[in-house]
């Protein structure tokens, strides 16, 4: 089995966990929850970057920060938008829309980087993308009972625009990442540059919350356990997934990008298992289509 596929599946596992825990830590009542998520992710990424610099034999230069800045900017901006959107819309709707970005990246890689797929690989990517798109359609037209039960969510243009913006910006960022990793920067320095850039954004978020907004980051141990601990779990999952992701992308961007986008499928599985959310037959069908595509990509060579 190809290394890019194994690394992609590791990313899928951890980023689905990040999705799940981010949702747990993003209550609709906290208008600054997305900035608090930035603090958690930046802190964990900063610790990981320091470890790699001190014990992992990695190094980073000012040039690496500048070269990788287009990808870092798109990734961080899309994540802030995605975290903000979790306050307004269900994860089962937001995540599939966000993760259509893999299809955007695959198209850009084919057009501008000259990357191509074999026949069975194209079928696998089409199945994964079709499954993700089908999940969007199923979830957006969910029955009125769930809409009424979840009155805190607003199914409006404001709610949908967040995942749509994430999809576009993240897709462009992933393409920029694939292009930069194709001879412009190595994976290790790129990942460290990204993590330290995220740490700098976390410092900005701390200043924004405490100095400009004059609010505390969290109030007491109970709130920390209920809301901030999930943010830290999301940050650990995000960082672990990012480490595998950048090597998967450098190995085979045109296939790994849409495959990794399927982590929204696993996010729904976690929601079903741990939050006891019920899935419809149509949702199970869409998940099965995406899984078929994953299996085809993973075992096609064999």
- pLDDT of 135 above 90: no
Which pLDDT does position 211 carry in this prediction?
A: 96
Whether residue 113 contacts residue 257, with contact meaning beta carbons closer than 8 Å, is answered with: no
Q: Per residue in 95-120, pLDDT tens?
A: 777 777 777 788 888 888 888 778 87
Q: Per residue in 189-239, pLDDT tens?
A: 999 999 999 999 999 999 999 999 999 887 766 767 777 889 999 999 999
Residue 30 CA to residue 83 CA, distance in Å, equals 12
> DSSP 3-state assignment of 261?
coil
**C-alpha dihedral (156, 263, 26, 101), degrees to nearest 10:** -50
Roughly what angle, to the nearest 10 degrees, separates helices 119-140 and 281-299?
Answer: 160
Whether residue 263 contacts residue 99, with contact meaning beta carbons closer than 8 Å, is answered with: yes
Percent of the chain with pLDDT over 70: 85
What is this structure's pTM?
0.84
Residue 38 CA to residue 22 CA, distance in Å, equals 11
Which pLDDT does position 261 carry in this prediction?
A: 82
Q: Give the contacts of 29 (CB within 8 A, at least 6 positions apart).
A: none
DSSP state for residue 38 in the 8-state scheme: H
CA 161 vs. chain centroid, Å, equals: 17
Domain coverage including residue 18: 3-299
Which pLDDT does position 1 carry in this prediction?
A: 58
> DSSP 3-state assignment of 99?
coil
**C-alpha dihedral (148, 151, 157, 158), degrees to nearest 10:** -170
149: tokens are 């039960």
Sign of the torsion angle spanned by Cα atoms 24, 224, 45, 54? negative
- pLDDT of 153 above 60: no
When divided into structural domains, the chain yields a total of 1
The model's confidence at residue 140, banded by pLDDT at 50, 70 and 90, is: low
83: tokens are 């975290």
CA distances from 46 to 75, 83, 110, 180, 198 (A): 16, 19, 34, 22, 8
Q: How many CB atoms lie within 10 A of CB 222?
A: 9
Say how many Å lie between the first and final Cα of the chain, rounded.
Answer: 7
Q: How many CB atoms lie within 10 A of CB 161?
A: 14
Which pLDDT does position 137 carry in this prediction?
A: 64
DSSP state for residue 29 in the 8-state scheme: T
Which pLDDT does position 239 carry in this prediction?
A: 97
Question: Taking Cα atoms as reference points, which of 96, 87, 105 lies closest to residue 31?
Answer: 87
Whether residue 196 contacts residue 51, with contact meaning beta carbons closer than 8 Å, is answered with: no
- pLDDT of 143 above 50: no
Percent of the chain with pLDDT over 90: 43
Which pLDDT does position 302 carry in this prediction?
A: 47
Window from 42-51, 77-86, 140-149 with minimum mean pLDDT:
140-149
**H runs (alpha helix) in 182-275:** 187-207, 220-223, 229-251, 253-260, 263-274
Q: Per residue in 241-272, pLDDT tens?
A: 999 999 999 988 888 888 888 888 888 788 77
Residue 137 CA to residue 286 CA, distance in Å, equals 10
What mean pLDDT do residues 164-173 have?
90
């Amino acid at each position: 089995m190809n290394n890019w596929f194994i690394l992609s599946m590791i990313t899928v596992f951890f980023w689905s966990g990040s999705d799940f825990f981010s949702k747990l830590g993003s209550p609709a009542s906290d208008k600054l929850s997305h900035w608090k998520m930035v603090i958690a992710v930046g802190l964990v990424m900063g610790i990981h970057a320091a470890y790699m610099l001190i014990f992992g034999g990695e190094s980073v230069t000012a040039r690496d920060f500048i070269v990788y800045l287009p990808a870092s900017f798109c990734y961080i901006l899309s994540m802030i938008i995605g975290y903000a959107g979790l306050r307004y819309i269900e994860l089962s709707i937001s995540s599939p829309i966000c993760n259509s970005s893999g299809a955007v990246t695959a198209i850009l890689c084919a057009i501008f980087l000259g990357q191509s797929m074999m026949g069975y690989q194209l079928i696998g990517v089409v199945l994964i993308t079709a499954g993700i798109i089908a999940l969007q359609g199923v979830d957006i037209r969910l029955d009125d009972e769930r809409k009424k039960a979840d009155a805190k969510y607003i199914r409006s243009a404001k709610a949908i625009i967040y995942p749509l913006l994430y999809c576009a910006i993240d897709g462009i960022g992933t393409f920029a990442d694939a292009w930069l990793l194709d001879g412009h920067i190595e994976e290790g320095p790129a990942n460290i540059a990204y993590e330290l850039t995220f740490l700098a954004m976390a410092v900005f978020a701390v200043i924004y919350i405490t100095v400009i907004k004059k609010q505390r980051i969290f109030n007491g141990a109970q709130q920390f356990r209920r809301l901030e601990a999930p943010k830290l779990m999301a940050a650990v999952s995000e960082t672990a997934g990012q480490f595998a992701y950048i090597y998967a992308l450098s190995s085979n961007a045109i296939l790994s990008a849409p495959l990794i986008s399927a982590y929204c499928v696993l996010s729904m599985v976690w929601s079903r298992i741990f939050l006891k959310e019920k899935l419809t037959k149509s949702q199970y069908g869409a998940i099965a289509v995406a899984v078929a595509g994953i299996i085809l990509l993973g075992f096609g060579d064999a």
